[in-house]
Amino acid sequence: MMDFSIRIADIITVVIYLVAMMSAGIYFSRRNHTTEAYFVGNRSFSGWVIGLSMLGTIISSATFLALPAAAFVLDWRQLSVNLVVPFVAVLAILIFIPFFRNGKRTSAFEYLGDRFGTVPRLYGTLSFMIMQLIRMAQILFLVSLVLQFLTGWPIVWVIAAMGIFIGLYTFLGGFEAVVWTDVIQALILIAGGIISVLWISFEMSGGVERVIEIGLEHNKFSLGDFRFDLGERTFYTLIILGMINWLGIYAGDQNMVQRYVSAKSTAQAKKATIIYTAISLPMWALFFFIGTALFSYYQLMPDAAIAGLEADQILPYFILTKIPPVVAGLIISAVIAASMSSMDSGINAIATVCTIDILKPYLAKHKEDRFYLNIARWIVVGVTLIVVSGAIFFSKIDKESMNDISLIVTSVFGGCLMGLFMMGFFTTRIDGNSAIVGIALAVMINIYLGLGVLGVLPEKMILPIHSYWVAALVNVTFILVAYTMAIIRKPKKQPHLQGLTVWTLSKKAKNET
């Protein structure tokens, strides 16, 4: 913990922002009388609102702090994960969105239930929940680093206070509050990123040109080695990881699907996806550039304190030592906005899938809508407590940067969800039983590779691959096993597939606007 003097102007700026967000939650709480309102905002949003909400949801404090940290420590190679986004977005616009809007679904995993049955649906639901809990804990930890610098409080207190605050306004406001506050937070996030990079650059003699010069001199703009190596973070490793990651997000992440189905029409859902995709890649590049600018700045003006900081703490340190009050408070508000927009979405999404995919069909059938609404709110409370505990855990472990941790988690714990959705969309041969066998073997491979990454297995039993490759191997295992089982078993024709694959989706659904 560095010795900072508390800057009242920054604290006031942040408090004003937080009060505004809580007020939004209280305002929208008066409109949540049904699960349809609480989970999808009565499906009434326009494309530009949903597009900015997508931006706020996916671009989190992991973007604002961890991407600059990754560029500061290494280079731009982790940007390679996101280069595939425009290509995957085309698939989403042409194929994925019509699927999820066909039949007025609320959850991504309702589709898996319709396509493959109960076991794949529950597997998808539980996998999503685990990944979201881990992701939100990372995000909460990162934003707490900034607030720790600002307040001087112990990191555990900051994590608890921030987590409870976000959980409370999500509890009150439901999905409508999530979407509209996401819009505000996305705009603050963009402004904060631009202010940060300009301020760092202008603090240096030579400005942006000098940043680029020093970055090139130290190979900081590299996208990694262009060679195929299973044991290293090469360009091709990251591209493959990115393809799996973004196919999974666009095709089956509840945060995205919930926004597809909450748009007022299919055309508006497609418009939202175009808006999000057009903004997101330049935003990621901007935050990598911030990391390079920080590296260049401290090359020219060394600071002994930097050696004692984790990579994820360097940007907050710069903000609170080099940027004047109020302006710094605005940037800190942008970091908080980035975390809040991702966490409120994740918390609401988990409450949604717990209710729609577990309670309604299995554990609490045929209850009144008010019962499900009340349960969803209590799920929000439980999820908040779990996320706070996870963030405290992340504060205690050693790490290169949280972005590296995030990529490892995505690969190791992502399971075979991408393969499950892709085989559902693009094949008619694989039935539920073949999918279950594929899932079982994929999970076994996932556990084995995960134990190897964690160093639990003896060294001679560990496959010599980088942890980023785990997701690829797990999804390939599922696809090969499920398809092989389908060929061997030769399941009977599945008449229920109408509207569930690209080969059986009606022209009306494909062209719906």
Per-residue pLDDT averaged across 213-232, rounded?
82
Q: Mean pLDDT across the stretch 69-73?
A: 88
Whether residue 89 lies inside any domain: the answer is: yes
Q: DSSP letter at 107?
A: S
Give the per-residue pLDDT at 2: 47
pTM: 0.85
In this prediction, residue 314 carries a pLDDT of 86
- Residue 67 falls within a domain, yes or no? yes
Which pLDDT score, from 0 to 100, does residue 1 have? Answer: 44
- Percent helix, strand and coil across the chain, each rounded to 5? 80, 0, 20
In the prediction, which pLDDT does 513 show? 41
* pLDDT value of residue 89: 94
Using one digit for the tens of pLDDT, what is the confidence trace for 424-454? 999 988 999 999 999 999 989 888 887 777 6
Mean per-residue pLDDT, 218-246: 81
In this prediction, residue 51 carries a pLDDT of 93
Residue 416 falls within a domain, yes or no? Answer: no
386 within domain boundaries: yes
Q: Is 475 within a domain? A: no
Pairwise CA distance, residues 362 & 371, whole Å? 15
Does 507 or 240 have the greater pLDDT score? 240
Closest CA to 315 of 135, 77, 7, 71: 71
Task: Give the C-alpha separation, 205 to 173, whole Å.
Answer: 47
Domain limits for position 59: 23-394
In the structure, what pLDDT confidence band is assigned to residue 262 with cuts at 50, 70 and 90? very high
Among 434-438, 448-452, 468-472, 507-511, name the most confident range. Answer: 434-438
Mean pLDDT of all residues in 475-484: 94
Six-digit token string for 185: 């937070």
Average pLDDT value for the chain: 85
Smallest Cα–Cα separation from 81: which of 196, 237, 257? Answer: 237
The answer to whether residue 403 scores a pLDDT higher than 60 is no
Q: Model confidence at 62, in pLDDT bands (50, 70, 90)?
A: low
Give me the pLDDT at residue 3, please. 46
Digit-coded pLDDT (tens) for 323-369: 888 888 888 888 788 778 788 889 999 999 999 999 999 999 989 99
Domain count, the chain: 1
Across the range 250-260, mean pLDDT stands at 92
Mean pLDDT of 172-189: 83
Measured torsion, CA atoms of residues 167, 170, 173, 177, in degrees rounded to the nearest 10: 140
Q: Is residue 480 part of a domain?
A: no
408 confidence band (pLDDT: 50, 70, 90): low
Residue 388: inside a domain: yes
Instruction: Tell me what pLDDT residue 401 has.
Output: 52
Question: Residue 88 above 70 pLDDT?
Answer: yes
DSSP alpha helices (H): ranges in 323-416?
327-353, 369-394, 402-413
Which of 61, 25, 53 is closest to 137 using CA atoms?
A: 61
Q: What is the CATH number of the domain that holds 334?
A: 1.20.1730.10
Burial of residue 239 (CB within 10 Å: 0-12, 13-18, 19+) is: middle
Look at residue 240 in the predicted model and tell me its pLDDT.
84
Cα separation, 181 vs 27, whole angstroms: 11
pLDDT at 435: 95
- The predicted structure's pLDDT at residue 125: 94
Please tell me the predicted confidence (pLDDT) of residue 204: 84
Whether residue 438 is contained in a domain is answered as no
